[in-house]
Amino acid sequence: MILDHLSNWRRYATNEAMTVALEFLQRPDLAELAPGRHPIMGESLYAIVQRDEGRGRESARLEAHRKCIDIHLCLAGHEVIGWKATAECRMGDGSDEPADAVFFKDPPSRWVEVSAGSFAVFFPADAHAPLAGAGPVHKVIVKVPDAG
C-alpha cells in the first residue's frame, strides 16, 4: 500500500499503465466528471468517480483484487480506508468475478486517513475497506491492470 499527496505522483509512475493512470488524476476537470465509469485506455484501465457517504468503520468491508491495482484519490471530504494484508485474511465473504473483487469478513488491521488531495494505492496483496469514514466523500478510483 502507498499513501501520499498527489503532488508526488511522479515517484510512482513506474510503468506505462501507472504513468497513464496518475497523469489522468492530474486532469484540471477531474472534479467536474460525472459519477460513474470513465475509460482511460480501453476497458483495461479506467476510472470510477464516486460521490458517496462514508459507511463508518463497522460497515466497511474488506475487498481485494487479483488482476488490478486500485488508486483511490480523495477530491473532497475525508476518506478513511481499512487495510489488512490479503494473505492474512481468513474469513472469505464471497467474490464478484466480473468486478475482480474478493470480499472478506476479517476486520482491518489498520485504518488509513486519505484527505483531499491525497491518494492511496492498493495492490493485490492489500485488502482494503473503502468509505469507512463519516460524511460525504468525492473520490476517484483508477483501476490499473497489475503487470506483476
C-alpha span between 58 and 60 (Å, rounded): 6
Cα–Cα distance for residue pair 25/102, rounded to 1 Å: 26
Dump pLDDT digits (tens) for 6-34.
999 999 999 999 999 999 999 999 999 99
Question: How far is the C-alpha of 61 from the C-alpha of 108, rounded, in Å?
Answer: 9
Instruction: Give the model's pLDDT for residue 148.
Output: 63
Contact of 105 with 59, CB cutoff 8 Å: no
Secondary-structure class of domain 2-145 per CATH: mainly beta
| pLDDT at site 115 | 95
Looking at residue 85, its pLDDT comes to 97
* List of the chain residues with pLDDT < 70: 148
- CA 92, distance to chain mean position in Å, is 20
